[in-house]
Amino acid sequence: MSVEAWTYLLVGITFALYIYIGYASRVRETAGFYVAGRGVPAIANGAATAADWMSAASFISMAGLISFMGYDGAVYLMGWTGGYVLLALLLAPYLRKYGKYTVPDFIGDRYYSHTARAVAAIATIFISLTYVAGQMRGVGIVFSRFLQVDIATGVIIGVAVVAFFAVLGGMKGITWTQVAQYSVLIIAYLIPAIAIANVLTGNPVPQLAFTFSDLVSRLNQIQVDLGFTEYTKPFQGKPMIDILAITLALMVGTAGLPHVIIRFYTVPDVRSARYSAGWALLFIALLYTTAPAVAAFARYNLISTLHGKTLEEVRQIDWVAKWEKTKLLAFVDKDGDGKVTVAPGRAFALKGGRPDFNTPDEKSRNEVHIDNDIIVLSTPEVAKLAPWVIALVAAGGLAAALSTAAGLLLAMSSAISHDIYYRIFRPNATEAQRLLAGRIVILLAVVLAGYFGVNPPGFVAQVVAFAFGLAAASLFPAILLGIFDKRMNREGAIAGILVGLIFTAVMIGMMRAPQIFGAPAPVIPNLFGISAEGVGVIGMILNFVVAYLVSRATPPPPEHIQHLVEEIRIPKGAGQAAEH
Amino acid sequence: MSNLEGYWKANTSLIRNLLIVWALVSYVFGILLVEPLNGIRLGGLPLGFWFAQQGSIYVFVILIFYYAWKMDQLDRHYGVHE
């Protein structure tokens, strides 16, 4: 059977599975819709959280990014996993004990303020919307690359599937679908990784092959011979201060992401919230410790397959010919010797941020352009695996994108239908009305996400840093202080959120002025060496300082709020709240 | 009430200790001291690089499960478990 037939088959089977699970877990009350009835076991919640959080970018692009960044790729590895430690120790157990439906719920109640609730809800919507646009685009790309349908058709199919299980089953449907999606995506990621580790080093466990073979030493040597710096040499692309800032921003940002936090409301008690954070990170670590191995293997393999061979030779390799057609892999014979040279620098000049395939970049001897995204997608072909494995990778990429999209849509829907509509405007709404509002909003959000997937706003890649910075600078400090500082009051929290938010927005706006506003140059390139990706850390620090100073200068929070804080610090009683 | 204060104190000092380990393996071993540590090898990798791309992630997983297990004991000891 051809790769294409296998892809249709596997994608069809997995989609049918997601739809079946969504139908089987349809819900009739708001607790089921928003928090899956709080009955999700810790391991299942861990798998769902892992799928929820690992996006199309983690699955398709991350290993490629690391492959090109070498050591500096550690910002993503440590940053995106280290946040779970903060989440598990500092937030998840207490939010579960508090036990309502959303993040703005906690912030609004803890700070006895509709202003705080609205700010948190708007931050949630913004963060989720930024993210979801990228996910739907990912769905479209996987479809167009593997099934030869156009991107718009791919997005519409994806939208229809997500709409079905999210509208019908709410959080309950999403949770069990995500458990299935995690299984699909991790199998799809590991099979090619194991195969390529085995081919290159004879050790099938990628993590062990990475650490205990001499492959990385050989890669270092090849890189040096070709004029690159060693693969493992730190701070080649970014200064140390920026690596520190980005790692911290990604950690804190991850801990503050609303669609991840709400997953911890779905477990039965505080104890399960703690363990499910551990399971989530274990499941994520399976992919995140494989990715740097795949990155190094792929880089070694690409360089040694391409460098010094003649153009005719490399074009006879099946996967080279295939990827060259998509322009994700491109050659230019600058020195006219008929052979491929891999060297530092660009093969082609950039035009509007993309390579211009008609203009070779004469500043460098490099003759190969390799897009980040082909690293993961090409490993099965490079390792000469069967067609069904290649099809599985397509299904895995779709699972990663759809599961994240569904989680984000629910976070957005609950911020609008629960926090804004019900808690602020219509506190008398009946159960049925609230459920209907939730379903209508999620349907609208799916359509909006689909629109962004077909007509991608150019800013998506640029503002993902913004989503993390925003979560780090606004939501995380407010939640943390709400739990650990009993004296923190409404005035302090709101002032802190506003300062953190405005500072981070202005900084990113100035640093990314060319991408966001089309300015000719950034207003400032960086702040003391910290780039737009890491600047949320400064916003977070400002938030903490301002919140502390303002809260101490204003009256303490009312008696019942101080009791609420004492109450969420002890696990007892979380299960009873679940039965209400 | 003093009982609950004791529980909270035990909890926060556990969190503090674990966060020290968290910062040590990532920020200190993986970033600040990466260059001197790269002089040492673990298998085929320089040690600082290993902490940055693999080791810190393993430690993070262990930290969370250790926290959950330790908190089980604290919950029972102070009688605040479900």
User: pLDDT tens digits for A186-240?
Assistant: 999 999 999 999 999 999 999 999 999 999 999 999 999 999 999 999 999 899 9
The two beta strands, A354-360 and A348-351, are antiparallel
A216 and B45 within 8 Å at the Cβ level: the answer is yes
Q: Residue A88: list chain B partners with CB under 8 A.
A: 64, 67-68
Q: How far is CA A575 from the centre of its chain?
A: 31
| CA atoms within a 13 Å half-sphere pointing along the CA-CB vector of A356 | 10
Tell me, what DSSP letter sits at residue B54?
A: I
At residue A409, does pLDDT exceed 50?
Answer: yes
Tokens found for residue B4: 């609950």
Tell me, what DSSP letter sits at residue A71?
A: G
Mean pLDDT of A519-528: 89
Comparing A471 with B15, which gets the higher pLDDT? B15
- Contact (CB, 8 A) for A184 and A21: no
Strand partners, A350: A355
At residue A578, does pLDDT exceed 60?
Answer: no
Q: For chains A and B, what is the number of CB pairs under 8 angstroms? A: 140
Kindly report the nearest CA distance between residue A293 and chain B, in angstroms.
Answer: 9
Per-residue pLDDT band at A459 (split at 50, 70, 90):
low
Supply the pLDDT for residue B33: 97
Rounded to 5°, the CA angle B72-A472-A452 comes to 115
Could you tell me the CA-to-CA distances from A322 to A68, A145, A259, A330 in Å, in that order? 21, 11, 37, 11
A73 and B68 within 8 Å at the Cβ level: the answer is no
| pLDDT single digits (tens) A322-331 | 888 878 899 9
Asked if B55 reaches chain A (Cβ–Cβ under 8 Å), the answer is: no
Tokens found for residue A436: 């209907």
Rounded to 5°, the CA angle A425-A429-A434 comes to 95
The percent of residues in chain A predicted with pLDDT above 70, rounded, is 98
| CA atoms within a 13 Å half-sphere pointing along the CA-CB vector of A185 | 33
Q: Residue B27: list chain A partners with CB under 8 A.
A: 244, 247-248
Mean pLDDT of A356-369: 93
Mean pLDDT of B26-37: 97
- Contact (CB, 8 A) for A171 and A26: no
Q: Residue A223: list chain B partners with CB under 8 A.
A: none
Mean pLDDT of A520-528: 90
Q: Which of B61, B63, B77 to mutate to test the interface with A (most CBs of A within 10 A)?
A: B61
Supply the pLDDT for residue A232: 95
Core vs surface per residue B50-65: b (16+ CB within 10 A) or e: bbbbbbbbebbbebbb
Sign of CA dihedral B65, B69, B74, B80: positive
Kindly report the nearest CA distance between residue A282 and chain B, in angstroms.
Answer: 6
> How far apart are the C-alpha atoms of A461 and A138, rounded to whole Å?
12
Tell me, what DSSP letter sits at residue A458?
A: T
Tell me, what DSSP letter sits at residue A526?
A: -
Asked if B73 reaches chain A (Cβ–Cβ under 8 Å), the answer is: no
Under 8 Å CB-to-CB from A398, ≥6 apart: which residues? A11, A14, A139, A142, A143, A158
Mean pLDDT of A136-148: 78
Q: What are φ and ψ of residue A354, in 5° steps?
A: -115, 150
Asked if A82 reaches chain B (Cβ–Cβ under 8 Å), the answer is: yes
Q: What is the DSSP string of A85-124?
A: HHIIIIIHHHHHHH--S-HHHHHHHHTT-HHHHHHHHHHH
Q: Which of B3, B13, B57 to mutate to test the interface with A (most CBs of A within 10 A)?
A: B57
Q: Residue A570: list chain B partners with CB under 8 A.
A: 4, 7, 80
Supply the pLDDT for residue A210: 96
